[in-house]
Chains A and B, each alone.
Chain A
């Protein structure tokens, strides 16, 4: 029996996601030339150049350029133009007939999060998504294969003030520390409406309902929290002023991890991403933020944003919405696919997000839909999944468009990314390849063989065919378990 358990454990250790194994190998390959370079004395820069030749380049910031080369050096875009030259050791990719666009930025994701909802309290500003990241989640690889390179990992929507978010690049195969987007401003999740009310959630017998259970209570929770944060900030301001004055024997205020992030919001140092649906709650939170003197950086989902687009623009909030999801709950019943266009026309900065590991893989098509609903131009529609979300996350100097000096987060498509007939060939982050379809396919026979070997192991055979009883519980929840915090509170996928 012990032998069996050992074998079982060993098998799990042996079955990394195949893409993961590939990405790890990529990493090793990447390191090899560097070692070689060190030995031969050539510079590291000499082997870190990539030239993508003769592509149709969708810059997003400056239109679409035909027959254009992109030079990548040291992870950055070093040149865009015709007949660019790279050094002799550069990786050269002929992209004739292909399209290159910036890596897609998904402003609302719950990928790689082993938990998303600390919903036991109404205000959980002290918890951090960054503490629960799983860099081996296979869906990350699948998202790369859909051209996504940056994710805004948000807390769930069970409570009015949720936890702190984390922006990552999908550096699948690398340690989690390398995922964290360097310099991305910190942020936090707020939530309003049905999920906070726990409308669609049945408490267990004996469980009491958590406050707030109404939209009235949600306003009050925000007001109370920011009133406390203001007091806390004043206490610290006074303390610091006293230090400056040279007062002696001061006792500092007691640190409050819940209120510190809220003070950062009041000081404009932390971005608020507020989950909302109905027009009235959108107006409520914008007014409340105005009253307390802070900005809502993005309204998330914001499905009725089209009803109050003018007010959203006046506050200066961004909007990050679904393309056309609707009717999955009451507060989504007035959602219309023209939402992004109406808000864009009113002067709101709009992005289209996935909130789903599944949908993230086809955000290009979600953005394409926006051209027919409300007549966004192709450039406007492209911005919805690239530059606009980058601006919303405060990372537009690094990603979101193809410009010299920006990170080389690029995606090569077989055709225009807005065509349903196109697919991703290669995905770069910081100039390194994290997905490549040809290499993925080339590895398949080997992986198939490995899989068959594993299947022959006793522990993997059904009891009737010589195998042993297996524990039925999976090692971790199945893929996609944390999708859709807008639906069923992030605890399930409603699509099936």
Chain B
């Protein structure tokens, strides 16, 4: 009886259960699981640990034991064309992977005894791609399944809302994304003015702990703008009918933000002082202010969502005033102020390359060309899908489009590998194929950015990752249906 009710719960949590000529694949898998008590008990225990309602989209009986965490070991990828990104390509080279790292790379590298060899003759090895504009794992189905949405907290100021705690490692988006060559993402909350803290993760692991490269990587701020409030949050607000009123609202929100950040700075100083001198009064612990301290001290970057010239200029001024380390996410108009951004050394995560031009009189390719313009001006930038999760796998095609419109192919590749790693301060750990770096490697049968190219082998964190996903699983179930 108990088991039966469990099956109902799981089925309804996933999709409206339907009984008919064509059962849904996942429902079928689940019923099968429940029919066997030992599996059901194990699944029940498993579910009780994982809090997300969509817990088991990915993990199903056919995925195999390596699906969640990959296969660790020592590997030698041989005879490959190695696109290091940081340096020249190496033809017929070898990469040795051990303990999660790239331990050696080159044309003449000794293969350690016991290494599992992968013959990559005719194939190319690239570093895994990185998308800094996602909400991976925080949203499974944005419409009609609110229980799967953990992306925007209530209220305007939530610096202590951490994406790390909302990431669902079992989101089906994760495997679908990685098997197309995107191996790491920044996953960010989106709500209010201060949305929270984003987490930088590798797309492999059974828990956020296993996935995280940097647990709390950046503070995420929707920089307030007139006519519609802060950035993405503004989408859900009524357009302000009066521009003067809208400007007043924006100014008030900026002031709110300034005050909170200054309070955090003062809090940090008071705390330091009290720690140094016990005779001084110690401020009451405050999780909101405490979470902001590393950001107001410039120890970690602040990610500002801003697309328009005025907002981006305001972000830079605001950051200088408060001594923040800004990164701009969005940046649709960044090319217009490229020299300003270059001068102030503000990096841009360009997420709108596929957006329609925002103005009727924009040139048709204004967004396609924007990456090349930033590159020419010397602005540090990375390309991003700006997608919450399902379409993050399209990242390479954005880089390709940027290359079709003026960016060099080498820079296009860097804009989804090394540049995002550098912007995150992870340039020494990710983004290229160099000894000592985390072994996130994509082995393909062609140009990484081409839509026709297939991924043949995949390594994340030095672990070999199977190339299946929710999509390959459903394909296998139905491709030969009789």
Decide yes or no whether B343 CB sits under 8 A from chain A: no
A residues 89-141 near B (Cβ < 8 Å) are 138-139, 141
B residues 211-257 near A (Cβ < 8 Å) are 227, 232, 235, 239-244, 246
Contact of B357 (CB < 8 Å), options: A332, A345, A369, A479: A479
CB atoms of B172 and A306 under 8 A apart: no
Decide yes or no whether B287 CB sits under 8 A from chain A: no
Q: Chain B nearest CB: distance from A85 CB in Å?
A: 34
B residues 371-405 near A (Cβ < 8 Å) are 386-387, 389-391, 393, 396-397, 399-401, 403-405
Which chain B positions have C-beta within 8 A of A365? 397, 400-401, 451
**Can you name the residue of chain A whose Cβ is closest to the Cβ of B455?**
A372
| Known A17-B361, A138-B360; contact A420-B471, beta-carbon cutoff 8 A | no
Which chain A positions have C-beta within 8 A of B363? 18, 440, 444
Contact of B360 (CB < 8 Å), options: A17, A420, A472, A487: A17
Q: Residue-by-residue, is B141-170 near A (CB-CB < 8 Å gives 1, otherwise 0)?
A: 111110000000000000000000000000
Decide yes or no whether A389 CB sits under 8 A from chain B: no
CB atoms of A342 and B479 under 8 A apart: yes
CB atoms of A420 and B390 under 8 A apart: no
Which chain B positions have C-beta within 8 A of A278? 18
Between A and B, 13 residue pairs with Cβ closer than 8 Å are A145-B364, A199-B143, A200-B144, A279-B24, A309-B481, A327-B141, A334-B25, A336-B470, A419-B400, A420-B451, A472-B239, A472-B243, A496-B232
CB atoms of A327 and B173 under 8 A apart: yes
Cα-based distance from A451 to B360 in the complex (angstroms): 12
Q: Chain A nearest CB: distance from B140 CB in Å?
A: 7
Which chain B positions have C-beta within 8 A of A371? 451-452
Contact of B364 (CB < 8 Å), options: A19, A328, A488: A19
Which chain A positions have C-beta within 8 A of B241? 472-473
Contact of B475 (CB < 8 Å), options: A332, A338, A357: A338
Decide yes or no whether A362 CB sits under 8 A from chain B: yes
Decide yes or no whether A142 CB sits under 8 A from chain B: yes
14 additional A-B pairs beyond A328-B142, A330-B141, beta carbons within 8 Å, are A18-B363, A283-B21, A306-B475, A326-B471, A327-B140, A327-B389, A342-B479, A372-B452, A374-B479, A421-B403, A423-B405, A444-B363, A472-B241, A473-B239
Which chain B positions have C-beta within 8 A of A444? 363
CB atoms of B478 and A307 under 8 A apart: yes
Main secondary structure of the interface of A (DSSP, over half): loop
Question: Which of A328, A329, A487: most chain B Cβ within 10 A?
Answer: A328
CB atoms of A368 and B452 under 8 A apart: yes
Cα-based distance from A358 to B353 in the complex (angstroms): 11
CB atoms of B390 and A334 under 8 A apart: no
A residues 325-372 near B (Cβ < 8 Å) are 325-330, 332-334, 336-338, 342, 345, 357-358, 362, 365, 368-369, 371-372
Decide yes or no whether B299 CB sits under 8 A from chain A: no
CB atoms of A328 and B143 under 8 A apart: yes
Contact of B365 (CB < 8 Å), options: A145, A325, A333, A357: A145
Decide yes or no whether B450 CB sits under 8 A from chain A: yes
Contact of A280 (CB < 8 Å), options: B18, B227, B242, B389: B18
Cα-based distance from A419 to B401 in the complex (angstroms): 9
Binding site for A on B (CB under 8 A): 15-16, 18, 20-22, 24-26, 140-145, 172-173, 227, 232, 235, 239-244, 246, 354-358, 360-361, 363-365, 386-387, 389-391, 393, 396-397, 399-401, 403-405, 409, 449-454, 470-471, 474-475, 478-479, 481
Q: Chain B nearest CB: distance from A7 CB in Å?
A: 18
Which chain A positions have C-beta within 8 A of B235? 496
Cα-based distance from A141 to B362 in the complex (angstroms): 11
A residues 233-261 near B (Cβ < 8 Å) are none
Cα-based distance from A327 to B391 in the complex (angstroms): 9
Q: Residue-by-residue, is A459-496 near B (CB-CB < 8 Å gives 1, otherwise 0)?
A: 00001000001101100001110000001100000111
Q: Chain A nearest CB: distance from B258 CB in Å?
A: 21
Binding site for B on A (CB under 8 A): 15, 17-19, 138-139, 141-142, 145, 194, 199-200, 278-280, 283, 306-310, 324-330, 332-334, 336-338, 342, 345, 357-358, 362, 365, 368-369, 371-374, 414, 418-423, 440, 444, 447, 451, 463, 469-470, 472-473, 478-480, 487-488, 494-496
CB atoms of A280 and B21 under 8 A apart: yes
Contact of A307 (CB < 8 Å), options: B22, B173, B454: B22
Which chain B positions have C-beta within 8 A of A488? 143
Contact of A362 (CB < 8 Å), options: B22, B142, B227, B401: B401
Cα-based distance from A422 to B244 in the complex (angstroms): 45
Which chain B positions have C-beta within 8 A of A479? 356-358, 360
Contact of A420 (CB < 8 Å), options: B22, B143, B404, B478: B404
CB atoms of B357 and A330 under 8 A apart: no
Cα-based distance from A249 to B240 in the complex (angstroms): 64
**Can you name the residue of chain B whose Cβ is closest to the Cβ of A346?**
B481
CB atoms of B144 and A329 under 8 A apart: yes
Which chain B positions have C-beta within 8 A of A200? 143-144
CB atoms of A418 and B451 under 8 A apart: yes
CB atoms of A307 and B481 under 8 A apart: yes
Cα-based distance from A281 to B34 in the complex (angstroms): 27
CB atoms of B449 and A420 under 8 A apart: yes
Which chain B positions have C-beta within 8 A of A440? 363-364
Which chain B positions have C-beta within 8 A of A362? 354, 397, 401
Which chain A positions have C-beta within 8 A of B475? 306, 336, 338, 342, 373-374
| Known A280-B21, A280-B22, A420-B450; contact A194-B144, beta-carbon cutoff 8 A | yes
Q: Lowest 3 CB-CB distances: which A-B pairs, in order? A: A420-B400, A327-B390, A368-B451
Which chain A positions have C-beta within 8 A of B25? 307, 334
Contact of B450 (CB < 8 Å), options: A142, A199, A345, A419: A419
Question: Which of A280, A358, A472: most chain B Cβ within 10 A?
Answer: A472
**Can you name the residue of chain A whose Cβ is closest to the Cβ of B171?**
A327
CB atoms of A338 and B404 under 8 A apart: no
Which chain A positions have C-beta within 8 A of B361? 15, 17-18, 138, 447, 451
Q: Chain B nearest CB: distance from A326 CB in Å?
A: 6
Contact of A306 (CB < 8 Å), options: B15, B399, B478: B478
Cα-based distance from A97 to B26 in the complex (angstroms): 48
Q: Chain B nearest CB: distance from A382 CB in Å?
A: 12
Cα-based distance from A470 to B242 in the complex (angstroms): 9
Which chain B positions have C-beta within 8 A of A329? 141-145
Q: Chain B nearest CB: distance from A482 CB in Å?
A: 12
**Can you name the residue of chain A whose Cβ is closest to the Cβ of B479?**
A342
Q: Chain A nearest CB: distance from B306 CB in Å?
A: 13
CB atoms of A495 and B22 under 8 A apart: no
CB atoms of A372 and B173 under 8 A apart: no
Q: Chain B nearest CB: distance from A360 CB in Å?
A: 10
Contact of B240 (CB < 8 Å), options: A332, A358, A423, A472: A472
Which chain B positions have C-beta within 8 A of A373? 475
Cα-based distance from A362 to B398 in the complex (angstroms): 11
Cα-based distance from A308 to B246 in the complex (angstroms): 52
Q: Chain A nearest CB: distance from B377 CB in Å?
A: 18
CB atoms of A338 and B144 under 8 A apart: no
Cα-based distance from A308 to B241 in the complex (angstroms): 50
Cα-based distance from A362 to B246 in the complex (angstroms): 36
Q: Chain A nearest CB: distance from B22 CB in Å?
A: 4
Q: Chain B nearest CB: distance from A203 CB in Å?
A: 15
CB atoms of A336 and B145 under 8 A apart: no
CB atoms of A325 and B391 under 8 A apart: yes
Cα-based distance from A420 to B399 in the complex (angstroms): 8
Contact of B481 (CB < 8 Å), options: A310, A327, A357, A358: A310
| Known A200-B144, A342-B479; contact A495-B21, beta-carbon cutoff 8 A | no
Cα-based distance from A279 to B28 in the complex (angstroms): 14
**Can you name the residue of chain A whose Cβ is closest to the Cβ of B25?**
A334
**Can you name the residue of chain B whose Cβ is closest to the Cβ of A419?**
B450
CB atoms of A496 and B386 under 8 A apart: yes
Which chain B positions have C-beta within 8 A of A199? 143-144
Question: Which of A283, A328, A333, A480: most chain B Cβ within 10 A?
Answer: A333
Cα-based distance from A480 to B478 in the complex (angstroms): 35
Cα-based distance from A336 to B452 in the complex (angstroms): 16
Which chain B positions have C-beta within 8 A of A358? 354-356
